[in-house]
Structure 1
Amino acid sequence: MRRSLARLCVGLGLATPVPLLAEGWGEVTTPVGGPARSIGQPGAGCLAGAQALPSEGPGYQVVELQRNRYYGHPTLIDYLQALGERLSQAGIGPVLIGDLAQPRGGPMSYGHVSHQSGLDVDIWFRLDVPPLPADQRTGLAQPVLVDAKGRLDPRWSAAHARLVRLAADDPRVARVFVDAAIKRDLCAREWDDRAWLRRIRPWPAHDEHLHVRLRCPPGDEACVDQPEPPPGEGCDAIAATPRAVASTKPSPAPRLPAACQSVLEQPHG
């Protein structure tokens, strides 16, 4: 019934309600085979040909595996494994990798508006967790490193700043979202190269993790990139990041690309 309604809405050019659509995507447990394609935008899209990020590797370990959100476009998987190697060589980590995307991307029933097209990933700021078995990586504390007045916690360190720089300093990266207090700290530090600071964008609710978003992979014609960030480092007059406030008004349902309906309806492997 759910998919029949979704198909009807697509045929009429309508978007289905978010909870209904999100539930459908969350129920799919396997990727679609074939060539990898990021379809649509990070906040209204889906993913075909996804790959699973191995649950651990040099420099990283994936947490909250029970969510089944460790899938991404192969470009994202390669990015994370390369980043893990760089972090390991820098003596940082293992870092904790949070959500990527669902097996076929698409809207999630909780936790994110984006992460739909397989090019987004959350990386926790917590750096004190030793390698753990997969079944012990659920329910770990995620300390907030910015207080209500926009001040960095004393636990914020040069290692955290180095983590953000290594995450951003890759030509495949479009943006890295962090709290404004973190952006100010990064801007105040001395760096041999500062071009990567342009990609660091202040955003609410990013005071305990950083959120990396990659550019659309070359040749992925159905993928929609965000506009480039404004020129410059973005270090002038950084406003405090507003605290997230729950809205009493329902958000409008996203209009997914028509191709996503086929991705959702393909038989489970």
Structure 2
Amino acid sequence: MFRTLTALAVAATVLAGCGEGRKAPTTTEEDLPRVTGVLSTKSAKALFGAESVGSPQRAASFGSYSRGCVAGAASLPETGPTWQAMRLSRNRNWGHPQLIDFVQDLSRKAAALPGWNGLYVGDMSQPRGGPMNSGHASHQIGLDADIWMLPGSDLTLSRSARENISSISMQRASGAYVNSSWTRAHHELLKAAASDPRVARIFVFPGAKVQMCNDETGDRSWLRKIRPWYGHHYHFHVRLNCPAGATGCVDQTPPPAGDGCADAQAWVNNILNPPPPDPNAPPPKPKRDLVMGDLPAQCASVLAAR
């Protein structure tokens, strides 16, 4: 533990005030993996999962959505006029300030929909981002948020209630279709989210994307950002673009041109008529846990900042 803290202290000296232009005179960011070699094999999820508050640094996302961290994260207040953060024991209601603003803006739009008073907000990021001990491969740089499909009707839920209440599934036939819980309000909520220029893409189960494709009669440009993906029938996953001017943040490749409806229908067709397994396909390789050496060098500074 002493060696780890010492390495983190060195990292903090090297990158003190991350993004504010202050560096040790004889050590560069390129040297950081060398001076913090003791950290390179440390489990990143254990280190980031142990942090309870954000770092006292200027807000910045470092790395990619599935391999990075966030400096200067803010917390979404547990309860607001048009939202409640859920599963508070996880302490995952943190994100880049741009994500906090987006969630609050979307919650106000949700409150104007019939049957909704606001949003139930699921996992965002940990206080300093990074890999999580469970549940997500992404959500690491403070720009991802899960929004529950359950309409936020009661915004006075206690902490205990928020640990025990569950969202509701929208899918039928393993995700090929929506079920009777799906409403036009869900369509309009996802449309509002996808129409926000801060949003890069939204993940939802294939049947929902096809249903929205079938129902939309106006501008269809926003459908491009709605991406079919496994699961995502109890919530939809919003991913923001890297903030403007962010030099250490890596955007995902933009979605292909067009509305993506044919692609979503292909997903549905594969659910209904699965292709036969390939007998020559190699067995999947087990995923290993990320270690600090897998993350951007700045993430050591984010952990060390006090």
TM-score scaled by length of structure 1 = 0.88
Q: Distance in 1 between matches of 2:202 and 2:81?
A: 22
Map residues 115-194 of structure 1 onto 2, 5 A cutoff.
115-127=139-151, 129-135=153-159, 136-149=161-174, 150-194=176-220
User: Given the alignment, which residue of 24, 30, 46 partners 1:23?
Assistant: 46
**1:90 paired residue number:** 113
1:223 has 2:249 as partner: yes
Match of 1:101, SS state, is coil
Query: Alpha carbons of 1:2 and 1:22: their partners in 2 closer, same or farther (altered >3 Å)?
Result: farther
Deviation at residue 95 of structure 1 after TM alignment = 1.8
Q: Which residue of 2 aligns with 1:251?
A: 287
* Number of the residue aligned with 2:303: 264
d(CA) in 2 for partners of 1:45 and 1:127?
31
Largest Rg, 1 or 2: 2
Distance across 2 between alignment mates of 1:182 and 1:7: 48
- For residues 242-261 of structure 1, what are the alpha-carbon distances to aligned partners after superposition, in whole Å with 9 as ceiling and x for unaligned? 88xxx974314442101101
Does the aligned pair in 2 maintain the 1:105–1:118 contact within 8 Å? yes
Pair 1:262–1:237, CA change in 2 (3 A): closer
Look up the equivalent residue of 1:232 and give its one-letter code.
Answer: G
Q: 1:47 aligns with which of 70, 78, 103?
A: 70
Following superposition, the deviation at residue 14 of structure 1 comes to 9.2
Which of 56, 61, 82 matches 1:38?
61
Q: Once the 2 structures are TM-superposed, how far is the Cα of residue 154 of structure 1 from its aligned partner?
A: 1.1
CA contact (8 A) 2:4 2:39 kept: no
CA contact (8 A) 1:63 1:97 kept: yes
Q: Report the number of matched residues.
A: 262
